[in-house]
Structure 1
Amino acid sequence: MKKAYLYILIPILLIIIIIIATTLKQGEQTTITKKLSQVEVKDLEAAKPSSIVELKNGDSLDLTATIVKKNINGVEVKMLAYNGQIPGPLIKTEKGSEVTINFTNNTDMESTIHSHGVRLDNKFDGVPDITQEPVKVGDAYVYKIKFPDEGMYWYHPHIREDYQQELGLYGNYLVSSDDQDYWNPVNQEIPLFLDDIQMESGQIAAFNNEKVDHAFMGRFGNVMLVNGETNYSVNAKQGDVIRFYLTNSANTRTFHFAIPGIKLKLVGGDNGRFEKEELVDAVIVSPSERYIIEASFDKSGNFEIQNKTPEKAYKLGVISVSNETTAQSYSSEFSDLRVNNELQNEIAQLTSNLSSISQKSLTISIDPMGMGSGMLNNNNSNMMGGGHMMGNGMMMQNNDQQKIEWEDDMGMMNKNATADSIKWKLIDQANGKENMDINWTFKKGELVRIKLFNDPNSPHPMQHPVHIHGQRFLVLNTNGVENTNKVWKDTTLVQTGDTVEILVEMSNPGDWLIHCHIPEHMEAGMMSKFEVI
């Protein structure tokens, strides 16, 4: 009788213990969330500059996302940081290595880590509800990341990027090559995150806690940041050659990067070196793209880092070059425009029979669902007559259409637009399926041509940086004009009215995303899934 009683009592006690433990954990999590969201700015730790962390094969790093304070234009504001740093730590590792990232989420929202551009194992891609469950506040997750390719990559959340990434959750991976001569010798290597942030009345403009806003154009900032700073500066010596690794971490803004008066050499992109090095005056960098340039400072003085748009040149920072001559000159190496024969041979083999490669076609468009029919039609045409709304309420017609929207010209219409009123679309031209209904399937090792058409007659045509997870691709042509200097990429900018054809190497099995990297557009639907088997 006593044994029978115990058989009944023990399971009941175990159930009670589990319920109590679960309740305590939930209470603890609620307390953490409340504490983090209500903490006073003055009580927060100040954000620190990015540090360098070198990881060898098999090494691990504890990476914690927290709330910090940061001074922007003389005002302390609440932001987010990895290990208390904005940008997060620069993680340097070697091609072929595998490292472990022990991630802890101590922010005020669920999060993940997406290793952007890295052809890693699918289960560590950081996409909520596809490759993992969201990491709740106070919880942790272990990422094992393999780096098969050299180059500059980056990490950021894949939940509410409009909020989390915008407030500082981003950092770089710099993957070195096993070829010591892969890059040119330089005097300095400097990673630069190009960013902006929207300020109102001295504070960061408020976010919608429940849903993403600014869904028309995305959230443009009105304060420019380089590596999280409004007054970024670099010191150099006369004769120095500096390699800059550019990453655009802005939500929406496309940067036109320049250093007036200084020679620039374009050497690399998203996933390594170009076919051939070339001298350039400036580089267009859309959200999530990376470009690698070298700059030769053969004279002393102060040189501005600028974002040069058709209307304005923004000062992003300054490079102060002293009269002191550099100890080691690399001017001759800078003058030599190298050719990447290995990549050229690889591309020649991949593109030798393009006509036999299967092809997909996607159209980029928008459905302004919540707008009245009066605004949707203009003389029996689509919204705004195939043009778009200016900030003053005037129309801009197609013949004046901008290839790139350099600024937010929609004002309150953009600010108030959410996924309830706006649906951005990737449309499969073969069957009319949209966004997550597309669901393509490919075989590992298959090559696929994808045409990306940005419809200029959509209700609001604008540029879109299209990102493909887990694979790499080459841009073959734009509007039928061949791209004569290719580089492996994971993101490409599709400007208004353009058709960009890419060749994707489906090398990495799993369930992956293709989406616009303007987070407000992705949250408003512009995302689809494909499988590599």
Structure 2
Amino acid sequence: MALGAVAGRTGSGMSVINRIRVFLLGYLFWTALGGLTAAEAQTSRAECKPLSLYCMELVPTAAYVGVKASLELARPASAFGVAVSRDGHQRYDLVAHVEGLPAAPQGSVYIAWVMPLDLDPVVHLGRIDNGATNLGEVAFNKFMVLVSLEDSPLATERKGPLVLRGRSPSSRLEPHDLFQVSAFADPQQGGGRAHGAPGQNGHDHAGGDGADAAWPMPAMHPGVRMSRAMHTLVPDVAPWIPETELAPQGNVAALPEARPRETLYLNDGDTLTLHAYPVRKRVGGRAWAMLGYNGQIPGPLLHVEKNVTIKVTFKNDAPFASSIHWHGLRHDNRFDGVPGLTQDPVPPGGTFEYEVHFPDAGLYWYHPHHREEVQQDLGLYGNMIVRPPAFEALPFVSTEEILVLDDLTVAPTGNVPYGSDATNYMLMGRFGNVPLINGEERVELHVARFDTLRLFVTNVSNTRTWNMSVEGHALQVMGSDLGLYSDPVWEESMAIAPAERYTADLVFPRAGRYAITNRVQSLDHTAGVFFPEIDTLGWIVVDSAEVNRWASKGPTPRPRMDPMVEYTRFRRALARTASLGPDSLYVPDREIELFIRADSVPPLVNWLLNADQSWFQPVEWTGTMPMMNWSATGRQVDWVIREPTTGRENMDIDWTFERGTTEIIRIVNRRDSPHAMQHPIHLHGQRFLVLSYNGRPVQHQVWKDTVLIPAGMTADIAVEFTNPGKWMLHCHIAEHLEGGMKMAFEVE
């Protein structure tokens, strides 16, 4: 098991970034209260709220009755919305809060130790006393913490009497009671489901007894048990099957073959046609019916300069009404591509003219904004890279690669269908069982020794958050979404949520072949255990010949424009809190909360949701509950954005902002939701800074349009409202968006 910090680099000297941190101190003085409500702030920090995901109680032994102690599981510094190790273990900063601990005898000290539940290894965390003590970072799936009285602060093993002990919130996970689950099984159903031949990564699971013949069963994970009762679950909508809906007479071979993406370099005033139509794509040794822009998956890669404007004709020959949303661009509201808000959906056979302006350098992407859980999932997506003027640019590198991460859900019988009249996979979203990178199962990238490779990475998956890493190499994260970090951030891996983009550099001093992998810790809810999953996405091949570093690029200067200079316009918003006294509690300008309403799910699904209430993963990395997830539809489930001050929900929320203002919005991902999970929240047409998670400051600032909020966490963001019009805020898990998790706001 891994333990230890992943270092992030910060600048030295009194730079602009340090000045902004001074302002953040005013905003964050109240973090000692953990970002709680006024009533909760009166509770001792040495106590945990019931079933907290980010606090563990330390229970005193008989000799120390009366001591109150807890451990805050705080978010460590990270460039990403969730902090995990290369292997996908959740990283926590442990902060002890202790009251009433008697003074240690002379020469003795209280020492904290951490260990996984199998007690190996036992790791010395350090000295602990009354008050708040930062014990450093841990990264175990399930763990316990012991505090003992030792003769020396340098003790390497626990020998003294036990004082306090506690177990991580994740250790509350227990196996499901299969006897109770069996009560939901239909005795008329046949025996076990027949297994098909293993498919990609061994995830395939063939259909069988108890399934509606029109609904082939979803792919199951071979390492996760499925009870007989699960066989009774079938979506309550008719299936939409790509093979029959996209291919003439169901003949996939008759479709044109999808081509690799083309790169288009566009100048100001140029025109482009993006044509959506069915294609066939070969994945896993067979052809699938899919969709492509201009016959390509991914769609064409658009290269433009900052401040360029182009005209795009969208021609829709997909079987759904559609549109194109230009994700992340702060351009004219009329062309944002949101049916029902900025335009009517483009019917099959129809066209729409977009005027697309690129005001900000960065990495962006385009995709449908109508039934996107189908259209985007089947291949309608593409990237845009906007180059800044030379004086704003990143340091020059000789090799760049634009990577698109996606996944596809398949079964031995063909594409796993989508809901026709309502979306299915409505609980967690549609996890694919075939990872794709640039539309392929594997990529192979080539660089020279000592070369610097720059990766521009976009996650276009419906649901999956990736934890991508390169074997034996750290990532120097340079930027995200709409901007650059003032100081690059060193990370072991890239945790990237749906719709997010990151830019990272890697240097290769040694020749070799290095795997690009996705490494996560999956959760078997039935057994209550974690297990590792590793998917190989491709390789980076480093040639033995050295790159001529000086001839190819010369010195690599830092950008002349410090990105943090732009952040200073947030001084007014941040400085508002600087005058607050120690007894004050900051109140944001607006607040919303995120949760699920699942009152109409079948009794079995309701029982399983209740059984899993003891603990939720901060991020669900894989689809280990595909049957209950696949069967839940938009007729049974609502995903909700709620404004607590008014009780308004989703599109009934009515927010108006004055152009040129900055407001701080608090987003609460409710832990008490029937199924709490991560939500990547996207704001159209604006940009923002993420200020804090659970009241702890975000150290690495960058302009964002999408923020990942793990289960049970609260994020505060400072939004710059500069772009007039009516815009959307929504969850970018495609099924959650279709399930209602969206709202509109207007900038006047």
TM-score normalized with structure 2 length = 0.62
2:646 pairs with one of 431, 437, 455? 431
Q: For 1:204-243, what aligned pairs fall within 5 Å after superposition?
A: 204-243=415-454
- Shift, 1:528, TM fit: 0.4
SS of 2:365 mapped into structure 1: strand
> Structure 1 residues 476 and 340, CA, compared in 2 at 3 Å: closer, same or farther?
farther
Would you say 1:351 and 2:351 are equivalent positions?
Answer: no
Give CA-to-partner distance per residue, 1:66-120, whole Å, 9 cap, x none. Answer: 1111110110111111111111010000111100111101111111000000011
- The one-letter amino acid paired with 1:371 is V
Aligned to 2:357: 146
Of 509, 516, 534, 1:313 maps to 534
Alpha-carbon distance in structure 2 between the residues aligned to 1:97 and 1:316: 34
Aligned residues of 2:392 and 2:561 also touching (Cα < 8 A): no
Find out whether 1:248 has 2:459 as its counterpart.
yes
Q: Which residue of 2 aligns with 1:465?
A: 680
Partner residue in 1 for 2:612:
396
* Greater mean deviation of Cα atoms: 234-243 or 192-201: 234-243
Query: Which string of whole-angstrom CA distances, capped at 9 and with x for unpartnered residues, describes residues 164-189 of structure 1?
Result: 00011000110000134511111111
Q: Specify the code of the residue in structure 2 equivalent to 1:313.
A: I
Matching residue's letter, 2:427: F
CA distance in 2, matches of 1:246, 1:256: 12
Q: How does 1:327-366 map to 2 (within 5 A)?
A: 327-328=548-549, 342-354=562-574, 356=576, 359-366=589-596
Distance 2:440 2:602 in 1: 42
1:95 and 2:315 correspond: no
Deviation at 1:320, TM superposition (A): 1.4
Q: Deviations over 1:310-343 (max 9, x none)?
A: 2222111111112122233689968x8x588632
Change in CA separation of 1:530 and 1:503 when aligned onto 2, cut-off 3 Å = same
* 2:573 and 2:663 in contact (8 A); partners too: no
Q: Deviations over 1:221-240 (max 9, x none)?
A: 01100000002211222122
Determine the C-alpha separation between the residues in 2 that align with 1:454 and 1:491: 15
SS in 2 for 1:163: helix
Of the structure 1 ranges 129-138 and 407-416, higher mean CA displacement relative to structure 2 is found in: 407-416
Match of 1:277 in 2: 488
**Structure 1 residue 34: Cα displacement:** 7.8
* Aligned match of 2:328: 117
Deviates more, 1:70-79 or 1:314-323: 314-323
1:125-156 per-position Cα deviation (integer Å, ceiling 9, x unaligned):
11111111111111111100111100000000
Conserved in 2, the CA contact under 8 Å of 1:105 and 1:136? yes
Which moved further from structure 2: 156-165 or 365-374?
Answer: 365-374
Mapped to 1, the partners of 2:265 and 2:602 lie a distance apart of 55
CA deviations 1:472-500 (Å, max 9, x no partner) are: 11101111111111111100000011101
Find 2:342's aligned residue among 131, 136, 153: 131
Q: Which residue matches 1:325? A: 546
My pick for the range that moved more, 474-483 or 39-48, is 39-48
The secondary structure found in structure 1 opposite 2:258 is: coil
Q: Distance in 2 between matches of 1:164 and 1:418?
A: 17
Matched, 1:55 2:298: no
SS of alignment partner, residue 309 of structure 1: strand
Q: What letter matches 2:460 in structure 1?
A: S
Whether the aligned pair in 1 keeps the contact of 2:474 and 2:506 (CA below 8 Å) is yes
- Taking structure 1 as reference, are residues 413 and 34 closer, same or farther at Cα in structure 2, changes over 3 Å only? closer
Identity %: 38
**Displacement, 1:415?**
0.5
Asked whether the equivalents of residues 257 and 295 of structure 2 are also in contact (C-alpha less than 8 Å), the reply is yes
For residue 349 of structure 1, report the CA deviation from its aligned partner.
Answer: 3.3
CA deviation after TM superposition for structure 1 residue 407, in Å? 1.2
> Residues 208, 94 of structure 1: CA spacing in aligned structure 2 closer, same or farther, 3 A cutoff?
same
Task: Give matches, 1:294-305, under 5 Å.
Answer: 294-305=505-516
Equivalent residue number for residue 624 of structure 2: 409
For 2:678 and 2:634, how far apart are their aligned partners in 1? Answer: 19
Residue 200 (str. 1) matches residue 411 (str. 2) = yes
Question: Is this contact kept in 2: 1:296–1:331, CA < 8 A?
Answer: no
What CA distance in whole angstroms lies between the structure 2 residues aligned with 1:46 and 1:341? Answer: 45
Contact 1:274 1:340 in 2 (8 A): no
Contact (CA 8 Å) 1:75, 1:203: kept in 2 or not? no
Residue range with higher mean Cα deviation, 216-225 or 103-112:
103-112
Cα deviation, 1:194-236, whole Å, max 9, x if unaligned, reads 1111111152211122221000000000110000000221122
Which residue number in structure 2 is paired with residue 491 of structure 1?
A: 706
Shift in alpha-carbon separation, 1:353–1:46, aligned structure 2, 3 A: closer
* CA pair 340-412 structure 1, distance change in 2 beyond 3 A: farther
Instruction: Give, in whole Å, the separation in 2 of the partners of 1:476 and 1:252.
Output: 25
**CA distance, structure 2, for counterparts of residue 180 and residue 353 of structure 1:** 29
- Give the Cα–Cα distance (whole angstroms) in 2 for the partners of residues 314 and 34 of structure 1: 31
How has the CA–CA distance of structure 1 residues 446 and 156 changed in structure 2, closer, same or farther, with 3 Å as cutoff?
A: same
Structure 1 residues 188-197 or 230-239, which shifts more?
Answer: 230-239
Judge which range, 275-284 or 217-226, deviates more: 275-284
Where does residue 392 of structure 1 map in the other structure?
Answer: none
Secondary structure of the residue aligned to 2:343 is coil
Could you say if the C-alpha distance between residues 444 and 315 of structure 1 is closer, same or farther in structure 2, counting changes exceeding 3 Å?
Answer: same
Counterpart AA for 1:282: S
In the alignment, which residue of structure 2 is the partner of 1:79?
A: 290
Q: Does the aligned pair in 1 maintain the 2:315–2:350 contact within 8 Å?
A: yes
Change (3 A) 1:38 1:369: farther
Q: How far does residue 35 in structure 1 lie from its aligned partner after superposition?
A: 8.0
In 2, distance between residues paired with 1:446 and 1:346? 15
Determine the C-alpha separation between the residues in 2 that align with 1:473 and 1:191: 24
Q: Deviations over 1:261-288 (max 9, x none)?
A: 1232100100021121122111110000
AA matched with 2:534: A
Q: Are 1:369 and 1:420, in contact at CA under 8 Å, matched by a contact in 2? A: no
Whole-angstrom distance in 2 between the partners of 1:39 and 1:107:
15
**SS of equivalent to 1:412:** helix
Match of 2:388 among 162, 177, 183: 177
SS in 1 for 2:543: strand
Q: How far, CA to CA, are the matches of 1:430 and 1:461 in structure 2?
A: 21
In structure 2, the residue corresponding to 1:45 is in which secondary structure?
Answer: coil
Write the distance in 2 (CA, Å) between the matches of 1:180 and 1:74: 47
Secondary structure at 1:162 match in 2: helix
Moved more, 307-316 or 366-375: 366-375
8 Å CA contact retained: 2:425, 2:629: yes
Contact 1:154 1:170 in 2 (8 A): yes
Alignment of 1:152-171 (within 5 A): 152-171=363-382
**Alignment check: 8 A CA contact 1:238 1:324 kept:** yes
Q: Does 1:482 align with 2:697?
A: yes
TM-aligned CA distance change 1:532 to 1:277, over 3 Å: same
Letter in 2 for 1:367: R
- How far did residue 58 of structure 1 move? 0.5
- C-alpha distance in 2 between matches for 1:347 and 1:340: 16
